[in-house]
Amino acid sequence: MRLPGVIRLAVVVGLPLLGSVGCGDARLGELQTWLAEIKRLPPEPLDPPPQIKQIDNFLYDDTGRRDPFVMDERSAAESAEARATSGIAPDPLRSKEPLEQYPLDALRMVGTLQWDPNAPDAAKRAEVGGLVTTPDGILHRVRVGNYLGRNEGRITLIDEQGIQLTEIVQDGAGDWSERQATLPLTQ
């Protein structure tokens, strides 16, 4: 009788313990004989190793091709022209606000608030502010026009769903562009 390897191991290890506890001396001899027979059986052969596919080598020849990491003259001229016409760039003279030292994904919007409802100016009464916490747990009040995050993110809208920002980011060619980002309200 041939048993699979795992069952054979369980039998070899487990039955002597069970036999000595539960069987008594009369059947212990039978058990030892049976275990000796199992130990004498040759092990089952192993499966053959999987065949490895041979892959042909490919040699890349870059002779006559431009380096993809160096900008050619035409692309450089187009990039310079786009930079000159877009006018988008961060203001290096602007003082940084406290929430600009944190990445945007580290900040959490935890609520909104309405500014002074008794203010004589109607625009001031309608203004909604946001409550933002930093990773160290400090609560900050923000309003439209404040900056958040490390990408020159200026707040454009605050509502009950979150804070909308316009960030200024630089691409690999050195061009600046605007992108929209949102800091959602978290409960």
What's 129's domain CATH number? 2.30.30.830
CA distances from 71 to 64, 80, 85, 175 (A): 16, 12, 20, 13
Residue 101: inside a domain? yes
Question: Residue 20 sits in which domain range?
Answer: 5-40
- Residue 114 has phi, psi (to 5 degrees) of -100, 135
CA–CA separation, 148 vs 95, rounded Å?
Answer: 13
Which carries the bigger pLDDT value, residue 13 or residue 182? 182
Residue 130: inside a domain? yes
Cβ pair 130, 111 in contact under 8 A: yes
In this structure, are 100 and 180 located in the same domain? yes
Residue 105: inside a domain? yes
Residue 114: inside a domain? yes
In this structure, are 109 and 178 located in the same domain? yes
Going by pLDDT thresholds of 50, 70 and 90, the confidence category of residue 177 is confident
Residue 71 exposed, middle or buried by CB count within 10 Å (0-12, 13-18, 19+)? middle
Tens digits of residue pLDDT in 11-69: 566 655 555 555 456 788 889 999 999 899 988 889 999 999 988 888 888 888 887 77
Q: In which residue are the tokens 């039955």 written?
A: 15
Residue 15: inside a domain? yes
Give 148's strand partners. 153
**Which residues make Cβ contacts (< 8 Å) with residue 181, sequence separation at least 6?**
104, 149, 151, 153, 164, 165, 166, 167
Buried b / exposed e across 45-65, counting CB within 10 Å, b at 16+? eeeeeeeeeeeeeeeeeeeee
Residue 53: inside a domain? no
Residue 73: inside a domain? no
| Mean pLDDT score across all residues of the chain | 82
**What local confidence, expressed as pLDDT, does residue 115 receive?**
67
183 closest CA partner among 172, 36, 157: 157
In this structure, are 27 and 101 located in the same domain? no
